[in-house]
Amino acid sequence: MRVTGTAQREAWIAKTWPPVEEVRSDLWSVPVPIPDSPLRYTLTYLVASDNELVVVDPGWDTDAGWNALVDGLKATGASPADVTGIVVTHIHPDHHGMSGRLRAASGAWVAMHPAERHTLALLRAQGANMAAGDRAWLRRSGVPDEVAEELSMQSGDGHPFARMIDPDRLLEHGDLVPMGGRQLRAVWTPGHTPGHLCLHDEAENLLLTGDHVLPRISPNIGLQPHAAEPPLAAYLRSLESMASFDSAEALPAHEYRFIGLASRVRMLLAHHERRCDEVIEILRRRGPSSTWQVTTELTWSRGWAAVTGFMRRAALAEAGAHLQHLADRGRITATPDGPEQPEIFAVSP
Ligand SMILES: [Zn+2]
């Protein structure tokens, strides 16, 4: 793997701000800040052709984010009113959050994969029932009551998905982004989310990888009750599909650009393999266990004690995705003890 976004990487290490860069002719990367996140920024891409300007992943909706996006557009000689289209790799708030504000300022169409639109509608519909459904999930995962208290979502919380807009257009696998003079093809990569898209600029051989493949961190693959297939199995398959893009320069939505997708993919596959082995080892050591018990014993990069607040939910969902994957493969068994009881996992005899 070779880092090509060297200015981005230096900025990443120095914890400073990477520059707006023209990666190729008429294609720019713009860092848009994410509030209170170790990821710090989303790399938003601006792609121009004859008479069109498409923004990929506008970023998190804050005034600081908006100003960064406007400054990025200005650096290319454009303003928000010039934007003709918006494509989101997936609907997480650090990607799709600002789409509504940008569409209002420009009249641009917004495009995403159909599975992402479906997820958005489901998340929104959960609305008032969210707290109850969430409590049921925490109980089934074996989270102790006093911890569930602090982890559970309150229905009154401003739901980040409530304000997010629906797409005007859909992009299926293999579709071209509707813009003249530039071939930007959608590559469906479910896993991180059910409708995650990468975008391949065929002429320049660039792959916008969204959160599917990042150079340094492994994207969270958590349980997705609304997904059509188990997320980890989908993710591993989507990783394998990256092999054909090995010669492409990867333009991720976080961190920095690089070349060497196949080798990065091998590292990510090995990471999940190790994770599965670790889950089995924990079950061997402590006997039948709930998702919560496995979660607290797994290795976390900063240690479990540093995994707090919302990160604990992501950790629980990630452990759950690995347990489900192992159960689907028959390596472990799951014993549901009724809806009110935690699900218990054990190594298959
Ligand atoms: Zn992201």
Joined tokens for residue 147: 């911890």
- Find the 303 Cα to ligand 1 centroid distance in Å: 22
Q: Between the CA of residue 154 and those of 1, 130, 146, 226, what are the distances in Å?
A: 43, 8, 15, 20
In angstroms, the CA 115 to CA 163 distance is 18
User: Which of 275, 265, 122, 89 minimizes the C-alpha distance to 193?
Assistant: 89
* Residue pLDDT, tens place only, 146-184: 888 888 776 545 566 778 999 999 999 999 999 988 999
> Range with the lowest mean pLDDT among 121-125, 153-157, 319-323?
153-157
Q: Counting every residue, how long is the chain?
A: 349
- Find the 254 Cα to ligand 1 centroid distance in Å: 7
* Residue pLDDT, tens place only, 244-288: 999 999 999 999 999 999 999 999 999 999 999 999 999 999 999
- Find the 104 Cα to ligand 1 centroid distance in Å: 23
Q: Centre a 10 Å sphere on the Cβ of residue 281 and count the other Cβ atoms it contains.
A: 12
- Find the 95 Cα to ligand 1 centroid distance in Å: 6
User: Which of 73, 84, 101 minimizes the C-alpha distance to 164?
Assistant: 101
Please name the helix (run of DSSP H) or strand (run of DSSP E) that holds residue 145, with its range, or none.
helix 145-151
- Find the 112 Cα to ligand 1 centroid distance in Å: 15
| Strand ranges inside the chain, DSSP E | 2-3, 21-24, 27-33, 41-48, 53-56, 85-87, 109-112, 169-170, 184-188, 197-201, 206-210, 249-252, 258-259, 332-335, 344-347
- Find the 41 Cα to ligand 1 centroid distance in Å: 9
Is pTM beyond 0.75? Reply is yes
**CB distance 273 to 77 below 8 Å:** no
Joined tokens for residue 220: 């969270």
- Find the 193 Cα to ligand 1 centroid distance in Å: 11
Output 129 or 51, whichever has higher pLDDT.
Answer: 51
**CB distance 206 to 217 below 8 Å:** no
Which DSSP category does 229 fall into?
S
Joined tokens for residue 330: 């028959």
